[in-house]
Structures are given as structure tokens and as C-alpha cells.
A and B are shown apart, each in its own frame.
Chain A
Amino acid sequence: MAETRTGVFDTRAEAVAVLRELQRDGVPGSSISVMSSEPLHLEINDAPKTRIAGYAIAGGLLGVAFAILLTVWTSRRVGLVTGGMPIVSPWAFGIIVFELAALGAILVTFGRMIAEARLVRRNALTDYDKSVADGRIAVSVRCSDDFHREIAEKVLGSAHQSYGSLQDSSNAE
């Protein structure tokens, strides 16, 4: 069971200082979360790479394939002539293909973003601090072993005693 330690800071500068110290002490970037009410555009080491754009393209291609199958297969199946047009009319079906390509890209982007941002998970808010809503910045460390926990407690606890608060919570993830 991974434990988390969270410190809350008032300014971006303090959060950045703490982040730097944690990383210098060897806490991996993937176990640090910096929470804020607006994007801070920090670069955290070894943060996972995003694949949203690639997924969007894949979703688009999926839409194209589905649209071609849908239009061609169903039109052949129905087989009714209208206006002397061919049963498979690429000019007209191209429009459906375009729309479903966009739809595929949109839905996959949305789904992939939720997955990559780790939304819709149980107990997501265990290491969260409500004061983030007021503009504070919370830094939490998921400690996989005692060594990391000690570092986390030291760094998060010692930095800015006046503002920083140390929380202890168990993460059920």
C-alpha cells in the first residue's frame, strides 16, 4: 500500500523550490503530483509521454473504415436505385466518411485524455487538498518505500512551516 505525503504552498516559487529539492533527493517525477487551480507549465522529470494526438489520428482512421463499411455494405444490401445513381456512390458517401472520421477522432481524443489524465478513478481525491481551489499549490509524493517517505516528510515538512501543512493519508490505489 502506497502512502502519500502532501504539502500545501502559497506560491508557485515555493512549490517549484520544493519540487526541485524532491527531485534532487532522488524522488522519481512519476510519484510527485503538483496540484494547482491553473496550469503552472512546470516540467517534471520523467513524466509520462502523451499519445493523444496519435490516438486522435487512429480514431479518425477507425471512423473512416467504419464509415466505408457502413455506407458500402448497407447500400449494397438495400440495393435500391435512386435517381439513376450507382448503388455505391463515392461522392455522396465521402461526406459520411468525413463526418465519421471526425467523430472517431473526437471520441478517441476524449477517451484517451480521460485515461492519460487518470480521471474517473476511485478515491482520486485522497491526496488532494481543497485549498487548491483558493489558488494554493499542493505537492504530494507517493512514497513507495520508507526512504522516499523520509525525504518527502523532510522536504514537505520543513519547507515553509508557516504555510505548509503535512498530511498523512493512505492511498488505496
Chain B
Amino acid sequence: MTDEHKSNKPQWAMVIDLDRCTGCEACVVACRVENNIPTVGPEEAAKGRSINWIRVERYFEGEYPDVKVKFMPVLCQHCEEAPCEPVCPVYATYHTDEGLNAQVYNRCVGTRYCANNCPYTVRFFNFFDPVWDAPLEKALNPEVSVRTRGVMEKCTFCIQRIRKGEEKAKDEGREVRDGDVVPACVQTCQTKAMYFGNIADPESEVSKLSKSNRATRLLEDLGTKPRVIYLNKGD
């Protein structure tokens, strides 16, 4: 962010340790349940219309039988200088003072321009009205709005959990600290490969990990300044 947009609020960020990720995709399932993500069915999914706010990308190295598989969970990077934001003509996506790349469903008219300008391809479009195969509709999270057709959606860093954590901290009269806010994917990760917290707080875990010499950011050379930091030994 340029200097004029400095803020005193917590600055949310995530750290993903690729060396610990087993590619189990529990985060994908947890996200789906937490965020009321519709299922589109196998046919639509085959056409590339499935919605996964977080996905585990698999990259293979080497030739059989000497193959190495690399897993990389990819979600909205909440770029500080997000390319998706300025192209939206109706401010449906913008940057909050907590460093979140916000998506306002009700403002979205569905130009899909943001998705085209996202280098990480983490923005999703509702091609049809959302459906949940029974009995999934009974498991909808009341704290998350469902999206109509024709609007974009994407990872929110579980904004509903962020708000709850912030309110709790406020009630207890203190600053937010590690553990107040745990997004669904981080909560579910079996190998503790994911961390979430306030990167502006030098004592927070994400803040310390982000200074690790294993820390990289995805497509860093584009200058988007992602708020998701990957740890990778680079073996």
C-alpha cells in the first residue's frame, strides 16, 4: 500500500508451510462447509465451473518412477496492491483498512473483469443459481451470506471469524492476538501447515514466520504484494 493508506487496524495475513502440506485437502472441505460454497455437480465442474475458495495445486517433478509431487494450497492472496480491485467499475471489490481484499456481493454486477486480472485465478463466478445437494442445504452456515448467480466470490480470510475475534478482543479490552482469529482452513489443517494472524504485530507468529529465510510470495515479481506467505525450503 502506498503511504497514504496506512492504518492502525490489525493487518491480516496467512503463512502456509509448503514443507508440511500433505495435500490432504481438508482445508478445501472445511472452507466449503464454513463459507456456504455451492456444489455445481460433476458436469459443470468438468467445464471448469467448480468453486473452491482454496484449492491444492499439484505439481509433479521428475519422470516415473522418480517422481516428486509438490502441493501448494492456493487461495486469495489478499494482495496489498491487488490487480483485481481497480478494474471493478462498481467498487464491488476494494481494499479494507485491515488489508483484506473485500468482495461485496451485493455491489457486484458480474463483469468478471476482476477474475481476468487476477494472476492467481482465485476468483470464482456463479454461473447459475447456487444449489446444495440434500442434505447439504441443512448445513449452511448462518453467519455467511449465500451468493446469487451472476456475482463473483472468493476467499474472505473467513471475515465472519475475523469480526468475531475482533469483537471478543474488544470486549476483553485488549488488542487481538494469535488465536483470536482462526480461519476454517487453518483450523482444519492436520499438519499445522497454515498460520493466520496480524502481521503488523511483531510478536505474532505470522509476523515471525514471514521473516524466515524460507518465506516467499507467489508471483512476487508482479508487485502485487500478497498477504499470503509461503514457506518453502526449496529442496
User: Chain A interface (Cβ within 8 Å of chain B)?
Assistant: 78, 80-86, 92
Contact = CB atoms under 8 A, between A and B. Distances in A.
B95 interface: yes
Interface string B1-34: 1101100000000000000000000000000000
Interface string B69-105: 0000000000011111110100101110000000000
A84 B2 contact: yes
15 contacts: A80-B94, A82-B86, A82-B88, A82-B95, A83-B83, A83-B85, A83-B86, A83-B95, A84-B1, A84-B5, A84-B81, A84-B82, A85-B2, A86-B2, A92-B86
Nearest 4 pairs between A and B by C-beta? A82-B85, A84-B81, A83-B86, A80-B94
A85 B91 CA distance: 13
Sorting the interface of chain B by its residue count into under 10, 10 to 19, 20 to 34 or 35 or more gives 10 to 19
A106 to B, nearest CB: 23
Contacts of B81: 83-84
Interface of B: 1-2, 4-5, 80-86, 88, 91, 93-95, 225
Nearest to A80: B94
Nearest to A82: B85
For the complex, would chain B's binding face be called helix, strand, loop or mixed by DSSP majority?
A: loop
B4 A82 contact: no
Nearest to A84: B81
Contact of A86 (B4, B93, B94): B4
B5 A80 contact: no
B2 A82 contact: no
Contacts of A83: 81-86, 95
A69 B229 CA distance: 41
A94 to B, nearest CB: 15
A126 to B, nearest CB: 51
A86 B85 CA distance: 12
B84 to A, nearest CB: 8
A13 B86 CA distance: 65
B94 A82 contact: yes
Contact of B93 (A78, A82, A84): A82
A82 B1 contact: no
A81 B91 contact: no
A77 to B, nearest CB: 12
A82 B82 CA distance: 7
A73 to B, nearest CB: 15
A82 B102 CA distance: 10
Contacts of B80: 84
B169 to A, nearest CB: 24
Q: Quick one: which of A78, A80, A81 has the most chain B CB within 10 A? A: A81
Contacts of B2: 84-86
Contacts of A86: 2, 4
Q: Quick one: which of A80, A81, A82, A83 has the most chain B CB within 10 A? A: A83
Given A81-B5, A83-B82, 14 more contacts: A81-B94, A81-B95, A82-B86, A82-B88, A82-B91, A82-B94, A83-B81, A83-B85, A83-B86, A84-B1, A84-B5, A84-B80, A84-B225, A85-B86
Contacts of B85: 81-83
